[in-house]
Amino acid sequence: MTKLLLFTAACFVLLLLNGAHHVVEGRPHRERRNDYMLFVLGDSYADVGNRPQTSEKTVLSRAWFYPYGISDSAHGNRPTGRVSDGMVQSDILAKILGGDESPPPSRRHWRDSDKVDPSGVNFAVGGAGVLSDDRAAPSLGQQVDQLASLISSGAVETADLDRSVALVAISTGADYNGRITHESSSRDMTALTGQVTDELVAAVRRLRDLGVTKVLVNLLPALGCMPWQSVASNYATCDSHSNALASMHNAALRRRLHDSYDDVLLLDLYSIFSNSVQPNVGPCCRNPDPNGYCGQDDSSGRPHYSVCDNPDQAFFWDYMHPTQAGWETIMQQLQGPIQDFLGIQSSW
């Protein structure tokens, strides 16, 4: 089947701002090469295969189908449920912590053993938020419930919690989709961001109460600079309304966390994303249909999308998610603050 190859070279320089804030994410897989156990909670920025696999390709199951995974040499350049051409944020964080990749997805944990993998557990599911009621995408609170169950059952032991890290990666703005529009008032935006960030803080508090020693929390990226927002201007400009919403969310989260929790580190994805966007440069995998998705086929089964020649030179993979190269560059900028916060060193 003929595949369209569309060259889209996108070299991005990512800057880290606000390194002093207390809050971010992290941890490894299979062989545990340091003394931290990692628990990953969140959405598709950190999901490594918890979203259900289906026989039919849809926008929700697309990460299990080509061309997803084409840059993931660690898994045979095949799709693994990661919403990227390769590794995602949780994988790169695990490397910083001394591992090889993210802890395995929670859906696989109890098939082999009552004990969790020595590297930890990844509960993140694409589409999740704090207000989510999608059964296929448990909310952040429900993911914390899953961890609590593993602790109460003894699958996660007290010794594991003594040196543990949790990454809270609610990053794609799912809680605001459909609830906030360009017609929404500042009052509505303030009310909803308050509700969402209150839930995030409650989840952080529960993680600490469960015994997790360090918690890393993503700030929202610059939502208006996501390709699905900037495509309207041919990727020339970011959507100011969506960026204002993300800024409001981040300000509220900083107020609630920064001065109250010494064991929480914030990852400023907003500054990194907004400073890395280049005008007129779109994602590597594109669909000419504004309502379509990367990997979509037409009614005859032919690809209705194109993939750039060099994903390793692109920042965005699809209309919302970074490439593996994008995540590597982002996390390289955050590596120092993470290591300082956790008191570790690694050669990644």
Contact yes or no for 94/26 (Cβ under 8 A): yes
Coil, strand or helix: which one is 40? strand
Residue 342, pLDDT above cutoff 80: yes
| CA–CA gap between residue 39 and residue 109 (Å, rounded) | 13
Contact yes or no for 123/146 (Cβ under 8 A): yes
Can you list the alpha helix ranges (DSSP code H) found in the chain?
89-96, 109-112, 140-153, 158-162, 186-210, 227-230, 240-257, 269-276, 324-342
Mind listing the pLDDT tens digit for each residue in 206-223? 999 999 999 999 999 999
Residue 34 pLDDT level (bands cut at 50, 70, 90): low
pLDDT of 232: 87
| CA–CA gap between residue 120 and residue 164 (Å, rounded) | 9
Average pLDDT over residues 230-250: 93
pLDDT of 347: 64
| Alpha carbon separation from 258 to 294, 338, 339 (Å, rounded) | 37, 16, 18
Coil, strand or helix: which one is 96? helix
pLDDT of 111: 46
Mind listing the pLDDT tens digit for each residue in 88-142? 999 999 999 999 999 999 987 554 457 889 999 999 999 999 997 677 799 999 9
| Alpha carbon separation from 177 to 8, 74, 95, 153, 318 (Å, rounded) | 28, 34, 32, 36, 18
pLDDT of 109: 57
pLDDT of 343: 92
| CA–CA gap between residue 224 and residue 227 (Å, rounded) | 8
Residue 10 pLDDT level (bands cut at 50, 70, 90): very low
Report the candidate in 10, 75, 65, 92 with the shortest Cα–Cα distance to residue 310: 10
Residue 27 pLDDT level (bands cut at 50, 70, 90): very low
Q: Side chain identity at 205, as an amino acid letter?
A: R
Residue 282 tokens read as 């779109």
Mean of the per-residue pLDDT values of the chain: 87
Residue 274 pLDDT level (bands cut at 50, 70, 90): confident
For tokens 């996108």, name the residue.
10
Residue 275 pLDDT level (bands cut at 50, 70, 90): confident
For tokens 């938020």, name the residue.
129
Angle between the N-to-C axes of helices 269-276 and 240-257, in degrees from 0 to 180, rounded to the nearest 10: 150
pLDDT of 297: 94
CATH node for 36-342: 3.40.50.1110
Residues making up the chain, counted from first to last? 348
Residue 143, pLDDT above cutoff 50: yes
pLDDT of 262: 86
